């Protein structure tokens, strides 16, 4: 992960940089917005911006929007300044971090925004078969299409392919086609020339050129607008791209990996995705099974996450109770590995020495399945037969579910939408509706939403 720090942050920027470096990030530091924009235009692949809240973040966000730059921004401030923090968030910043920096908070924000992982645990026979196939195709130059439900680890597999390819010493560049508005995606992919549109005051290098010589991952490519798919097809076929507003083709040497959580045959039949582009991308297909079909991977992944989050939060390694292990293996995990990871993170923080079912799933869920659970305040087991949804309206249950899922996902909208099975746009509209609801006086539920 590459982080750009803008401003001195009253000396705390160095501390924040060291924390990020310990997490494996590469850090660049500049003094002001203009220097930052030059870095962003250069194609250095910045994943996250941390900016001093005193440096006029709204103006920086305006410039980034004008030049179609979609890198997430986190505001940082030495003293609590609610007004500046409010202005930064309203202008488009993803989060506000008070300084001096808290290692756990920075780690959580970086993780929630980047979702950068390196683990690849596979004990189940179904995954071992897939890995065996991946090991054969990784050293080749073939384009690969990775299918699977949200949260199954498609990006992890893509990184594994890159690290086992002949291009492993070159750039691995990823772009989420679903997370970037369609009017900005073309510039993100292909870059643009000075004067290409209002606000394009300098040339900008896009993801294709940034990945030159390496690997480009087109994450959730099925969400790409059909009009842009034609330009993508030419880039893949002819190995040249046209910057927006450019007059000369730019040659590129990249390997393409693409992912989708959709049924591509249906998308093609519905004229939502070009058949010729799909065939160009789908030289080899990797279909990842959902976690519920990888039963033998659930406990190894759980143990990995327990150790990871205990280490991250400076806690002694906790044990998983036999009852918890049984519940975890029997749960459906609609959000797959991503949902399991977020669930175990919360359980690590809430539990005592041993992780119990109530730490993992919470009281409400255990009540709905009439599970005999034990709370930390009361060690006597009891059967609960009260359904917590009775007495509430459908809209109230929906709101509780959406806000609870957002909390469960540390405020990450993309992951929450995947678990809920709704689009990011629908989730965004629901959040806006709840925020404007005069009945809601407590805004803390929204403080971590990204």
Contact between 290 and 330 under an 8 Å Cβ cutoff? The reply is no
| pLDDT, position 124 | 93
Nearest to 75 by CA among 7, 23, 175, 19: 7
- DSSP class of residue 331 equals S
* pLDDT at position 374 over 90: no
Task: For 59-103, give the DSSP string.
Answer: HHHHHHHHTT----EEEEESS--HHHHHHHHHHT-SEEEESSPPH
pLDDT at position 147 over 90: yes
pTM over 0.75: no
DSSP 205: -
- Average pLDDT of 346-371? 77
- 246's tokens: 């450019």
Task: Report the pLDDT value the prediction gives residue 213, as an integer from 0 to 100.
Answer: 93
DSSP designation for 261: S
Q: Are strands 26-30 and 2-6 parallel, antiparallel or unpaired?
A: parallel
Domain definitions of the chain by residue range = 2-114, 125-287, 291-368, 394-446
pLDDT, residue 311, reads: 82
Distances (CA, A) of 103 to 64, 98, 328, 345: 28, 11, 29, 16
Three-state DSSP string of 337-383: HHHHHHHHHHHHHHCCCEECHHHHHHHHHHHHCCCCECCCCCCCCEC
- Candidates 57, 10, 68, 65; CA nearest to 33 is 57
Of the pLDDT bands very low, low, confident and very high (cuts 50, 70, 90), residue 384 is very low
pLDDT at position 132? 94
Strand partners, 355: 320
pLDDT score at 252? 94
Query: In the chain, what is the greatest distance between 2 CA atoms, to the nearest angstrom?
Result: 75
Q: What is the pLDDT of residues 98-141, one digit of tens each?
A: 777 566 666 666 665 554 454 578 899 999 999 999 999 999 99
* Tens-place pLDDT, residues 168-215: 888 888 898 988 887 789 988 999 988 888 888 888 889 999 899 999
Name the one residue in this structure whose structure tokens are 């009017």.
183
Is pLDDT larger for residue 332 or for residue 362? 332
pLDDT at residue 401 in the model: 81
Asked if residue 227 has pLDDT above 90, the reply is no
Cα 297–chain centre separation? 22
In whole angstroms, what separates CA 425 from the centre of its chain? 16
The share of the chain scoring above pLDDT 90, in percent, equals 32
CATH fold of 291-368, please?
Helicase, Ruva Protein; domain 3 (1.10.8)
Contact, 14 vs 39, CB < 8 A? no
d(Cα 412, Cα 450) in Å, to the nearest integer?
5
Surface-to-core class of residue 194, CB atoms within 10 Å of its CB (0-12 exposed, 13-18 middle, 19+ buried): exposed
Q: What is the CATH architecture of 125-287?
A: 3-Layer(aba) Sandwich (3.40)
Does this chain's domain 2-114 share its CATH topology with 125-287? yes
Higher-pLDDT residue of 444 and 314 is 314
The Cα–Cα gap between 305 and 69 comes to 33
Cβ(259)–Cβ(287) below 8 Å: no
User: What tokens does 376 get?
Assistant: 């930390």
pLDDT of the residue at 116: 47
Arithmetic mean of pLDDT, 383-398? 58
| Cα gap 112→105, rounded to integer Å | 10
| Homologous superfamily of the 2-114 domain (CATH) | Response regulator (3.40.50.2300)
Is pLDDT above 50 for 447? no
Give the residue carrying structure tokens 């506000």: 96
**How sure is the predictor about 440, in pLDDT bands with cuts at 50, 70 and 90?**
very low
398 closest CA partner among 386, 389, 385: 389
Lowest mean pLDDT among 28-42, 213-227, 266-280: 28-42
The structure tokens 């508005």 sit at 181
Q: Given a cut of 60, is residue 442 above it in pLDDT?
A: no
Name residues whose C-beta falls within 8 Å of residue 83's C-beta, 6 or more positions apart in sequence.
none
Residue 368's pLDDT is 59
Least confident of 6-20, 244-258, 264-278: 6-20
The least confident of 7-21, 29-43, 75-89 is 7-21
Q: What is the mean pLDDT of residues 262-276?
A: 94
Local confidence band at 42 (pLDDT 50, 70, 90 cut-offs): confident
CA dist., res. 11 & res. 35, Å (int): 19
Q: What is the mean pLDDT of residues 360-377?
A: 58
**Quick check: 283 and 244 in contact, CB under 8 A?**
no
Please check whether the domain covering 394-446 is classified as CATH 1.10.10. Answer: yes
- CA torsion angle for 300, 301, 307, 308 (degrees, to 10)? 150
Mean of the per-residue pLDDT values of the chain:
81
Tokens of 165: 């390819």
Radius of gyration of the chain (CA): 23
């Amino acid at each position: 992960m590459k982080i750009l720090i803008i401003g001195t942050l009253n000396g705390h920027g160095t501390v924040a940089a060291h924390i990020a470096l310990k997490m494996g990030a590469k850090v660049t530091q500049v003094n002001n917005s203009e220097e930052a924009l030059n870095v962003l235009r250069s194609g250095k692949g910045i994943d996250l911006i941390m900016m001093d809240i005193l440096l006029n973040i709204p103006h920086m966000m305006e410039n980034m929007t004008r030049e179609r730059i979609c890198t997430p921004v986190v505001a940082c401030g030495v003293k609590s300044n609610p007004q500046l923090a409010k202005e930064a968030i309203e202008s488009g910043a993803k989060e506000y971090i008070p300084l001096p920096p808290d290692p756990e908070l920075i780690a959580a924000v970086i993780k929630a925004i980047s979702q950068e992982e390196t683990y690849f645990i596979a004990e189940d026979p179904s995954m071992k078969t897939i890995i065996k196939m991946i090991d054969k195709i990784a050293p080749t130059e073939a384009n690969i299409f990775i299918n699977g439900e949200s949260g199954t680890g498609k990006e992890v597999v893509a990184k594994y392919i890159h690290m086992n390819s002949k291009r492993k010493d070159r750039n691995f560049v990823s772009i989420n086609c679903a997370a970037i508005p369609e009017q900005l995606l073309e510039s993100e992919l292909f870059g643009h020339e000075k004067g290409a549109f209002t606000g394009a005051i300098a040339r900008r290098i896009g993801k294709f050129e940034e990945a030159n010589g390496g690997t480009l991952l087109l994450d959730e490519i099925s969400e790409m607008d059909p009009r842009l798919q034609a330009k993508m097809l030419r880039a893949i076929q002819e190995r040249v791209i046209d910057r927006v507003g450019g007059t000369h083709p730019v040659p590129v040497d990249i390997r393409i990996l693409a992912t989708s959580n959709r049924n591509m045959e249906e998308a093609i039949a519905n004229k939502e995705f070009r058949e010729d582009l799909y065939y160009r991308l789908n030289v080899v297909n990797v279909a990842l099974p959902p976690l519920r079909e990888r039963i033998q991977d659930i406990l190894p992944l759980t143990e990995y996450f327990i150790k990871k989050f205990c280490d991250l939060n400076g806690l002694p390694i906790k044990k998983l109770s036999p009852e918890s292990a049984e519940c975890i293996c029997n749960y459906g995990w609609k959000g797959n590995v991503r949902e399991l990871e977020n669930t175990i993170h919360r359980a690590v923080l809430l539990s005592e020495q041993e992780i119990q079912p109530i730490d993992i799933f919470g009281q409400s869920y255990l009540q709905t399945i009439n599970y005999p659970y034990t709370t930390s305040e009361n060690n006597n087991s009891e059967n609960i037969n009260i359904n917590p949804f009775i007495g509430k309206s459908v809209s109230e249950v929906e709101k509780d579910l959406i806000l609870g899922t957002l909390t469960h996902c540390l405020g990450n909208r993309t992951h929450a939408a995947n678990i809920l099975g709704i689009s990011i746009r629908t989730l965004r509209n629901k959040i806006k509706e709840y925020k404007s609801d005069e009945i809601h006086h407590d805004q803390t539920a929204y403080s971590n939403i990204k």
